[in-house]
């Protein structure tokens, strides 16, 4: 069944075809449409699930984690400040080994407030124990929800999973989406059968397990790490079955125009569509450049990245996030992944752009490539990170900030 859907509606359909049994909801822009649609379906009886509207994202994650422990498939969605408000419970849900799935609709963080896309929220939970899948399109988003359950619920993993999409560009943009028949999804995703339900309704208790032995705590963390590492093997198994049953193929990374590339641009999320189009045009102009996009972010696909970037002259990393005081998150992840490779690219360059929905274009991508080639030719130590501003934009924004703040802010 093909429909024109917003990204938010697509996320709701992903939960519906996965036959989610419990939904926790708390609205926040730009994901409110997801829980609104799910609650509507539950109220109408078109979706057999229990829906609870919570007073905060913190209690919402506690609720879906508890539902998972009771043995039902649980789902929610959130964004930005809401995700950060819930972060305490994210560590708890992962520690409970509760394989819930939530869709994050990526949005800028903090002050000044912004409603447009940025990846600071999803990158901010990378150490919680939640696995991460990053979608570029509505179709990927739909498919990643049942794939996420298949991975998280595997007994070798038993971890929660975050599926990320970009706010506004995808959440409210409409795209044609092929919704597979529920019978096919059932063949791919069996009913959730928790191997050891914790909640016993005949003997309700409340408890908070605590360890006083540091070695016991370390051992438990080691088990979480090994489960997260095993998730990549399970990802390959799940996506192989998904291709066989549903007909669409997914790998941890996407490689575009990489067969004879000398240079590559690494990205994730919806801006990859713009980068891919620019790479296509640059190829027409004779530039040997390709694109690598990460779909699987936790566990990080180190081996696949190394294979894709082996022997290149240079790699530009486009980060739609900033770890303040350090730089782009994907850039630092990539640098670590490539460090031990004997055939790593000669130059790795960081670019920060798209924060708060700032536009990029063909010119932006060409600038990244030109800057990368200049650094490779000169052999000089690269500046990291490189901010994607034009000079006129720098001057204009500096003047605006000086006026607003009543102080001197250099254009830098």
Q: Would you say residue 264 has pLDDT above 70?
A: yes
Determine which of 195-209, 232-246, 393-407 has the lowest per-residue pLDDT on average: 393-407
Q: What is the pLDDT of residues 311-352, one digit of tens each?
A: 999 999 999 999 999 999 999 999 999 999 989 999 999 999
Select from 241, 235, 236, 246 the least CA-distant residue to 178.
Answer: 246
- Rounded Cα–Cα distance for residues 297 and 282 (Å): 27
pLDDT given at position 390: 64
- Global pTM reads 0.94
pLDDT given at position 408: 60
Cα–Cα distances in Å, from 82 out to 8, 25, 61, 174? 16, 11, 11, 24
Regarding beta strands 289-294 and 253-256, do their DSSP bridges make them parallel or antiparallel, or are they unpaired? antiparallel
> Among all chains, which residue has been given the structure tokens 């979480």?
224
- Rounded Cα–Cα distance for residues 285 and 280 (Å): 9
Q: Would you say residue 44 has pLDDT above 60?
A: yes
pLDDT given at position 406: 60
The pLDDT of 142-151, averaged and rounded, is: 98
CATH top-level class of 253-399:
alpha beta
Q: Would you say residue 403 has pLDDT above 70?
A: no
Torsion of CA 221, 222, 227, 230, to 10 degrees: 150
In the chain, where are the structural domains located? Answer: 2-245, 253-399
Q: What is the pLDDT of residues 163-215, one digit of tens each?
A: 999 999 999 999 999 999 999 999 999 999 887 767 777 887 776 778 888 89
pLDDT given at position 412: 55
Which CATH fold would you assign to the domain 2-245? Answer: Rossmann fold (3.40.50)
Q: What is the pLDDT of residues 386-396, one digit of tens each?
A: 999 865 566 67
Q: Would you say residue 381 has pLDDT above 90?
A: no
């Amino acid at each position: 069944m093909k429909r024109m859907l917003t990204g938010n509606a697509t996320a709701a359909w992903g939960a519906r075809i996965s036959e989610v049994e419990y939904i926790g909801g708390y609205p926040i822009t730009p994901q409110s449409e997801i829980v609104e649609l799910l609650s509507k379906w539950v109220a109408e009886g078109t979706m057999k699930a229990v829906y609870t509207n919570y007073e905060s994202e913190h209690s919402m994650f506690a609720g879906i984690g508890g539902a998972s422990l009771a043995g039902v498939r649980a789902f929610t969605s959130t964004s930005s400040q809401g995700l950060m408000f819930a972060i305490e419970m994210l560590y708890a849900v992962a520690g409970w080994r509760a394989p819930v799935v939530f869709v994050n609709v990526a949005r800028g963080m903090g002050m000044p407030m912004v409603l447009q896309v940025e990846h600071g929220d999803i990158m901010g939970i990378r150490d919680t124990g939640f696995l991460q899948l990053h979608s570029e399109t509505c179709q990927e988003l739909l498919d990643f929800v049942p794939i996420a359950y298949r991975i998280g619920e595997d007994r070798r993993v038993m971890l929660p999973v975050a599926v990320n999409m970009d706010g506004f560009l995808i959440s409210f943009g409409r795209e044609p989406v092929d919704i597979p028949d529920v019978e096919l999804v059932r063949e791919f995703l069996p009913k959730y059968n928790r191997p050891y339900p914790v909640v016993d309704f005949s003997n309700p208790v409340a408890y908070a397990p605590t360890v006083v032995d540091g070695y016991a705590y370390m051992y438990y963390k080691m088990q979480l790490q090994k489960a997260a590492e095993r998730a990549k093997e399970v990802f390959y198994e799940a996506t192989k079955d998904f291709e066989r049953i549903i007909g669409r193929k997914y790998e941890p990374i996407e490689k575009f125009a990489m067969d004879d590339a000398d240079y590559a641009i690494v990205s994730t999320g919806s801006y990859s569509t713009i980068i891919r189009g620019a790479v296509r045009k640059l190829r027409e102009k004779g530039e040997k450049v390709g694109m690598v996009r990460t779909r699987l972010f936790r566990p990080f696909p180190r081996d696949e990245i190394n294979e894709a970037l082996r022997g290149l002259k240079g790699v530009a990393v486009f980060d739609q996030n900033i770890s303040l005081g350090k730089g782009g998150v994907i850039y630092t992840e990539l640098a670590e992944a490539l460090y031990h490779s004997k055939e790593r690219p000669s130059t790795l360059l960081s670019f920060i752009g798209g924060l708060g929905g700032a536009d990029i274009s063909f010119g932006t991508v060409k600038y990244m490539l030109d800057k990368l080639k200049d650094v490779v030719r000169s052999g000089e130590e690269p500046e990291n990170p490189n901010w994607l501003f034009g000079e006129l934009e720098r001057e204009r924004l500096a003047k605006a900030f000086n006026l607003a703040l009543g102080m001197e802010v250099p254009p830098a």
